[in-house]
Amino acid sequence: MSVILITGAATGIGNLTARHLAASGHIVFASMRGVDGRNAAHAASLLDTAARDGVDLRVVELDVTSDASVQAAVDRVVTEAGGLDVVVNNAGHLNVGYVEAFTPDELLHLIDVNTIGVHRVNRAVLPHFRERRSGTLLYVGSTIPVTTPPFLGPYVVSKAAMDALAVTTAYEANAFGIETVIVMPGPITQGTEHFPNAGRASDLERTSAYRALDPLVAANEQATAGLLGPGPLQGAEGVAKEVVRVLALPFGAKPFRTVIDDADAGVEHVNWAAYQARAAFVERLGMAELLHPAAP
């Protein structure tokens, strides 16, 4: 049994992951913005599940764009549960449109949510993990840094940055026995609100300059769905189940990366090649011990 904090648990992957982890016997803090406001219904649903199923599933306010909110949430978890074992960095947002039409502030905002938000959470939890010389940083990333689809430019940038942040943070976390897992979902068109709630570029003049491409943008979600196999899809549910599976593995057996991709884009092969090159480079630096978490 672990004490687990999940960000972005109002809907989608985060919500399903919270439910599955609680059903597996963990103490789960499902965090979200607007627990008493915009997400009150989602929070109530999780709490109803906890009461009905007799699981330890709690809800906590957490806005990944606010240092104070993140720290308050982590402090509450540690105080209430007496510690913290795992953080699932899941919160994120999607933008769709032409890169040039997004203002610098819009690009910065998405990076703030998808990348800097992860860093805020890590800064709040790592002191606890370091003190105990244990813990798991689990990231819900994406296959997108490898597949790099069109018309999702700011999102691709932010998820690639988050992935790099996870990798570089892992070197230092490894030295303290803190494990890292990057779960990489492929495209998911059902079970999340990414596409319906996607942000759009505000510069309409720049957007209009690309009007010849509008039919491709309009068909983006349908085209993405067309990549998915005809058989049963893993989808958001499959990602949640994979998180549960990985966290049940003993120390040292957790994969650094795991891919759940109904589009079968071959991302695993790229991951393997990239790891081999990176590991060889780090070994040549004489720092091979940073590639794996130190034994407790």
The residues that are catalytic are 155
For residue 51, give the H/E element and its range. Answer: helix 40-53
Amino acid identity, residue 132? R
3-state class (DSSP) for residue 199: strand
Q: What is the CA radius of gyration of the chain?
A: 19
d(CA 243, CA 223): 27
Contact 60, 73 (CB under 8 A): yes
d(CA 117, CA 108): 12
Give how far Cα 291 sits from Cα of 136, 149, 202, 286, Å.
15, 30, 42, 11
Q: How crowded is residue 72: how many other Cβ atoms within 10 Å of its Cβ?
A: 16
3-state class (DSSP) for residue 165: helix
Considering only the C-alpha atoms of the chain, give the largest distance between any 2 of them, rounded to a whole number of Å: 58
Contact 33, 42 (CB under 8 A): no
Provide CB contacts within 8 A for 215, sequence distance 6+. none
d(CA 238, CA 262): 10
Give how far Cα 182 sits from Cα of 82, 83, 89, 167, Å.
26, 23, 10, 9
d(CA 156, CA 163): 10
